[in-house]
Amino acid sequence: MSTSKKKTAAGIVWFEIPADKPERARTFYSKLFGWKINPLPAMPDYQHIDTGGADASPNGGLMKRKLPGQSITNYVNVASVAKSAALVEKLGGKVCVSKMAVPQMGYFAVCQDTEGNTFALWERNEKAK
């Protein structure tokens, strides 16, 4: 009998691209990579990026830049946002946006590593409220 716990693979599952001019960025990425970028009906200021990858390529989002210097944020799949956020801080990183729910999809938190790079933690959970 195995006593090992099931571990969630820590791969990139989503990314977000902030833009000063979202339509300009939409045109750029659509023409460069052939990505399909369309507004989400529930979030008019947020556009879904369909990368069209037949492999495990993540999809993403495109939105208006909210802060000067804001750059692309990768979302990394984890088993628990709360536990991973605590580990981020223990290792010298910083939690910039505490755990938040995306209803019926999961939870996320935005962090910074020890070098000042921003990334997000993602925990899939269809029961999120």
> Domain map of the chain by residue range?
8-66, 78-129
Q: Give the pLDDT confidence of 3-23 residue by residue, as tens digits.
A: 445 566 789 999 999 999 999
User: What architecture is domain 8-66?
Assistant: Roll (3.10)
Look at residue 44 in the predicted model and tell me its pLDDT: 84
Same fold, 8-66 and 78-129: yes
Q: For domain 78-129, give the CATH superfamily.
A: 2,3-Dihydroxybiphenyl 1,2-Dioxygenase, domain 1 (3.10.180.10)
Instruction: Supply angle C-alpha 29, 71, 41, rounded to 5.
Output: 60
Q: What percent of the chain has pLDDT over 90?
A: 81
Look at residue 53 in the predicted model and tell me its pLDDT: 75
Q: What length is written for the chain?
A: 129
Look at residue 105 in the predicted model and tell me its pLDDT: 95
Phi, psi at 87, each rounded to 5°: -70, -40
Q: Give the pLDDT confidence of 91-113 residue by residue, as tens digits.
A: 999 999 999 999 999 999 999 99
Tokens, residue 83: 């536990």
Give pTM, 2 decimals. 0.86
Tokens, residue 117: 């790079």
